[in-house]
Amino acid sequence: MGAFKTRSGADWTPSYLTDINPETCIGCGRCFKVCPQSVMALYGVDADGQILGIVTEDDEDDFDGELNRKIMKVEHEGQCIGCDACSKVCPKNCQTHVTVDQLGG
C-alpha cells in the first residue's frame, strides 16, 4: 500500500470510522452533518435499547410512541474516506476509527 499524502505533500494516514458506541452516542447529528460521504444514519431507539429504524429529517414518526432516543450508526462504512471530521465534532467521543494500515487486506 502506497503512502498517503496531503496536497502539500505531507504524510497523512486515513482513519476510517468503523463503529459508534450506542451507549454513549446522544444522536446530536454533528457527525452526520460534517460527513461528506453519508457514512452514518440516525436511528430511533426504544426504552429497552432496541433499534426501531432510520429516522429521516422529514420524519415526524415517533415509531408508534416507542421512540425514546436517537443514536447515530455506521450505515455505509465502505464510503468512509478516512477524513476523521466526524470525530472532531463528536461531543461524546463515542466513535471508533481504524487507520488504513490497521485494516489490512
Does 5 map to a domain? no
Q: For position 103, what pLDDT does the model report? A: 80
- 15 pLDDT above the threshold of 80: yes
Does 71 map to a domain? yes
11 DSSP 8-state letter: B
How far apart CA 43 and CA 52 sit, in angstroms, is: 7
Q: For position 2, what pLDDT does the model report? A: 54
Does 42 map to a domain? yes
**Count of domains forming the chain:** 1
- 105 pLDDT above the threshold of 60: no
Q: For position 62, what pLDDT does the model report? A: 78
What is the CB neighbour count within 10 angstroms for residue 90?
A: 19
CATH code of the domain in which 74 resides:
3.30.70.20
* Domain span including residue 70: 15-103
pLDDT 10s digits, 46-103: 999 999 999 877 666 778 889 999 999 999 999 999 999 999 999 999 999 999 888 8
Does 6 map to a domain? no
